[in-house]
Structures are given as C-alpha cells and as structure tokens.
Amino acid sequence: MLAGGVAMLAAAGGLAPPLGASRLPKREIPSSGETIPILGMGTWITFNIGDNPEALTLRVEVLRRLLAGGGGMVDSSPMYGTAEAVIGRCLARLGSSAGLFATTKVWTSSESEGRAQIDDSFRLWGVDRFDLFQVHNLLGLETQLATLRAAREAGRIRYIGITTSHGRRHDDMAAAMRRERLDFIQFTYNPLDREAESRLLPLARDQGVGVIVNRPFRRGGLIDLTRGKPLPGFAAELGAKSWAQLILKFALSHPAVTVAIPATANPDHMTENLDAARGPLPNADLRDRITDAMAAL
C-alpha cells in the first residue's frame, strides 16, 4: 500500500481535481457569508508521525486528495505533537496551498504561552495567515479569545472559534456562545453522539455561528463497530457504498453543520470521504434510521 501511495505521488502533479469528480458542496459561514467546502480534515493522531519519511509521503497524498477534491479545512492543534510541523512539510511538498482553509488552535491557559503557540503555528505551517484559530477545549477561554481578537485585528487570522470533543462541556460551550462573538464552534457529532442536536446545533443556528464536526467516526470506533456488517437497504438511496460514507453523510446532513473534519492517514479513505460529501445527504427521517441501524449492531 505504501509503495502504491508513493507511486501515486510520483504520478501526481499539482492539485487538479480528478477527472469526473463533481464539485464539493459548500456552506456559508454565518458570520461572514463566505462559503467553504463541507468536507475538511482533522489531524489528531494521523498527522503526528514525527519525521518518518514514508508516513509523510502518505500524508502528502491524503492532503493532495483533499485539496484536489475540493475540500478545504485542515484542522490541527499544538496538542497534537508533530502534526502542525507535518502539515507544513506536506504543504511544502505540494508546493501549493490553494483551497486550504488553515485551521488550528491555541491550547494553554497562559497568555504568554498562547502567544508563543500562535507564533509557532505560523512557523510550523509556513502560512502567512490562518483562516481560523480556535481555543482548544475552552482552555484559558477569556485570555486566549482576547489574544486571538488582537491577532484578527492585526490581520493574522480571519475567524475565531472554540472547541470541545467527546460530547463534553456542552454547558460551558453554550454559555460561551451566548457571551462571546464567535465565528465557529467545534464539537463531536455522529449517529451515536447526538447530544448536540438538543442544544448546541440549534443555538449555533440562532446565534449565527459556524459548526465544525469532529470525530464523526469516533476515532475509528464506529468503523470498527460496523466492520463486516451489511449496509442497510436505504444506504443505496443516499449513494453510500460503505458504512463510513453513511456515517459521514449523517454528520454533514444537519442543516446547522458547516463542515466535518474526519481524520485519516489513508488516501483511499480521503477519496471515500470526498465521494460521500458529494452525494445526496439524509433528511431528518433517514438520520434517525441511520442511528437506529447503528444502535442495533
């Protein structure tokens, strides 16, 4: 597989979309009206590879496929070890960041460390401007939001957000959404983690805040759960050829969701994710049926 990935890379040039691929749908960022592709990519674990050259080659291909396929958001954090540095190396290898929606986080309660982390992120990614900077897990929220606002005024970043995951701290996130002017919130949403539907997703719509969905596959746990299990009949209605596509379509289908950022180290999985995002998405009834089908496994 690695050899295949290297060969693909050798053959690949630039970021031209694959022949026959339709455009990836876009959604509006409520605070600005700008539209961004509904599919992005997270980098937790998958891009923390140190300086392993073989692994880097595969990540370059993953990122190439995302950008060539019309995807945009790449999300990282200083908490993710070498992930930011690896993204920077991937972008350098690609030679182009066209279409990239550069997104990372600040992860500390200290103001000075926060500033240092922000500077490090610029250096590691090799970008002049970040599209989105978020406060990771609401850590040092007030302090870091002040720093990020100053960075936005200086033109270094465009949007500001806050994150959580695993369905935690929804109360704190909702309170912050009411208190602060935010462009994005990020949390976990998938067929078996639907708590956000009761409060955060409606609140995001009301407040005009963009929503980033992390862990749509529960870090692969949902894929493990469905492995070897037959797809439900209604998957064909949605054009889903795998459980992974069905699960991703679920996350993307909520009208308040702006973008989903599944992480992968496998270029073929990236292609599969892009295909899922291009096809039809489930309505509320089908979303319930997806949840029921998975809960029954």
Partner 1 sequence: MSVWFTYSLGDFIPFSIETYRAAIRLYGEENMLLCGLSLVAGLGLIFCARGYRGWGLRIGLVILAMAWLHGGLGFLDTRLLPLIPQIEPARWLFMTEAALLLLCALGPVGPCADGVSASLRWRGLLILAFAVLNFGLGTGIAPAGVPIGGFGILPDPTAVATLAFLLICRGWARLILMIVPLIWCVFALLLLMGMDAEPLRVAMPIAGIACALMALAAWVDRTSGGSPLDALGRSDDNNRGGQEYRDDKGEDPPWN
Residue numbers 175-214 binding partner 1 by CB under 8 A: none
* Min CB(110)–partner 1 separation in Å: 15
Residue 89, interface with partner 1 (CB under 8 A)? no
The residue within the footprint of partner 1, chosen from 49, 185, 211, 256 (CB under 8 A), is 49
The residue within the footprint of partner 1, chosen from 31, 57, 82, 291 (CB under 8 A), is 82
Classify residue 7 as exposed, middle or buried by CB count within 10 Å of its CB (0-12, 13-18, 19+). exposed
Instruction: Output 63 or 235, the one with its CB closest to partner 1.
Output: 63
Residue 163, interface with partner 1 (CB under 8 A)? no
Q: State the residue for tokens 């900077």.
A: 133
Helix (H/G/I), strand (E/B), else coil: 88: helix
The residue within the footprint of partner 1, chosen from 28, 51, 128, 142 (CB under 8 A), is 51
Q: Which stretch binds partner 1 (CB under 8 A): 40-48, 91-99, 122-130, 203-211?
A: 40-48
The residue within the footprint of partner 1, chosen from 39, 55, 204, 247 (CB under 8 A), is 55
Instruction: Output 83 or 244, the one with its CB closest to partner 1.
Output: 83
DSSP string for residues in 135-193:
EGGGTTHHHHHHHHHHHHHTTSEEEEEEE--TT--HHHHHHHHHHS--SEEEEE-BTTB
| Helix, strand, coil percentages for the chain (3-state, nearest 5) | 45, 15, 35
Residue 166, interface with partner 1 (CB under 8 A)? yes
* Min CB(31)–partner 1 separation in Å: 29
Residue 255, interface with partner 1 (CB under 8 A)? no
Residue numbers 93-132 binding partner 1 by CB under 8 A: none
Q: Which two tokens stand for residue 32?
A: 């600005």
The residue within the footprint of partner 1, chosen from 50, 95, 202, 280 (CB under 8 A), is 50
Number of residues that bind partner 1 (CB under 8 A): 20
Comparing CA positions, the residue from 296, 295, 286, 291 lying closest to residue 236 is 286
Q: Which two tokens stand for residue 155?
A: 């033109």
The residue within the footprint of partner 1, chosen from 8, 79, 116, 174 (CB under 8 A), is 79
Q: Give me the sheet containing 101-106, strands edge to edge.
A: 41-42, 73-75, 101-106, 130-135, 157-163, 184-188, 210-214, 259-260
Instruction: Output 47 or 130, the one with its CB closest to partner 1.
Output: 47
Q: State the residue for tokens 């009206």.
A: 33
Instruction: Output 212 or 263, the one with its CB closest to partner 1.
Output: 263
Comparing CA positions, the residue from 225, 219, 222 lying closest to residue 250 is 222
Instruction: Output 152 or 169, the one with its CB closest to partner 1.
Output: 169
User: Do 124 and 96 meet the contact criterion of CB atoms below 8 Å apart?
Assistant: no
Q: Which two tokens stand for residue 5?
A: 């990935």
- The full length of the chain comes to 297
Q: Which residues bind partner 1 (CB under 8 A)?
A: 44-46, 48-52, 54-55, 79-82, 166-169, 219, 265
